[in-house]
Amino acid sequence: MKTVVEKLTFNPFQENTYIVHDGNSCVIIDPGCFSREEEEALVQCIEANGLTPVAVLLTHGHLDHIAGLDFVNRKYGVDVYLQETDLFTFRGSHIAANLYGLRGFIQPEEPNKLLKGDEILIFGEMEFQVLFTPGHSMGHVVYYNKQDGYVINGDVIMRGSHGRTDLPGGDYPTLKRSIVETMFSLPDETVVYSGHGPETSIGIEKQINPILHF
Ligand SMILES: [Zn+2]
């Protein structure tokens, strides 16, 4: 069966959290829920669809993508996946929380499943290929669902834009390489679900993304 992608937008950074499911199991990607209401919205989405969470997938360890991880760990206690290099980013989240004044942020327990890149992850009917796409952060990965033609891409591509590279561990030439060599090798019709803002596609970004010109 085709998998379903549910999108919820959370926290002061307007981060997109995705719940991907096959009708039975779900994975929670980049849980950014921060307020009590946002935590309830996440649980509501899972329960209304009758889903059992089986894993948390992180594209990277930035504060806005893990703001709800401690809550999700305590609520569901499932495996948490992160690329091993991005533990650096993950461990700095409480410092970022102080800088941005995100009071009440709880530094979550470290992920127990460390990725390198190129793994195939299978959960129920869902299959994701892990693609290593550093540049926005040192160990950023995206989760590509080939069967259903989409990629959960975190902060690599945003519609008509791309992730910033001025944060610790960011590097513009590296991000450009990740987009041009890795992301643009996916089929044009691939839907791109971003960590911020609306969906786009690989074909659209090949036309409009400014990273091609700088
Ligand atoms: Zn980020």
Report the 10 Å Cβ neighbour count for 139: 25
**Cα(95)–Cα(92) distance, integer angstroms:** 5
Distance 50 CA to ligand 1 centre (A): 30
Distance 60 CA to ligand 1 centre (A): 7
Distance 1 CA to ligand 1 centre (A): 31
| Position 61, amino acid | G
**Cα(69)–Cα(73) distance, integer angstroms:** 6
For the segment 47-60, what is each residue's pLDDT rounded down to a tens digit?
A: 999 999 999 999 99
Distance 81 CA to ligand 1 centre (A): 16
Token readout for 137 is 């952060």
DSSP symbol at 73: H
* From 25-29, 72-76, 101-105, 134-138, the region with the lowest mean pLDDT: 101-105
Length of the chain: 214
At 1 the pLDDT is: 58
Distance 65 CA to ligand 1 centre (A): 7
Distance 55 CA to ligand 1 centre (A): 20
Distance 125 CA to ligand 1 centre (A): 28
Distance 161 CA to ligand 1 centre (A): 14
Distance 64 CA to ligand 1 centre (A): 7
Contact assessment for residue 173 and residue 213, using Cβ atoms and an 8 Å cutoff: no
Q: What percent of the chain has pLDDT over 90?
A: 96
| Residues 131-157, mean pLDDT to the nearest whole number | 98
Label residue 101 left, alpha or beta by phi (over 0 means left) and psi (-120 to 50 means alpha). Answer: left
Phi, psi (deg, nearest 5) at residue 53: -65, 135
Class of the CATH domain delimited by 4-213? alpha beta
What is the distance between the terminal CA atoms of the chain, rounded to a whole angstrom? 41
Distance 162 CA to ligand 1 centre (A): 10
Distance 66 CA to ligand 1 centre (A): 10
Token readout for 113 is 């499943």
pLDDT at 75 over 90: yes
DSSP symbol at 58: -
For the segment 196-213, what is each residue's pLDDT rounded down to a tens digit?
A: 999 999 999 999 999 888
**Cα(178)–Cα(156) distance, integer angstroms:** 8
**Residue 114, exposed/middle/buried by CB under 10 A (0-12, 13-18, 19+)?**
middle
Picking from 30, 28, 66, the residue whose alpha carbon sits closest to that of residue 49 is: 28
| Residues 56-75, mean pLDDT to the nearest whole number | 98
Picking from 146, 125, 134, the residue whose alpha carbon sits closest to that of residue 191 is: 146
Phi, psi (deg, nearest 5) at residue 76: -115, -30
Please name the residue ranges forming H helices in the chain. Answer: 36-48, 63-66, 69-76, 87-91, 93-100, 172-177, 202-208
Distance 63 CA to ligand 1 centre (A): 8
Q: Is the dihedral of CA 153, 58, 68, 48 positive or negative?
A: positive
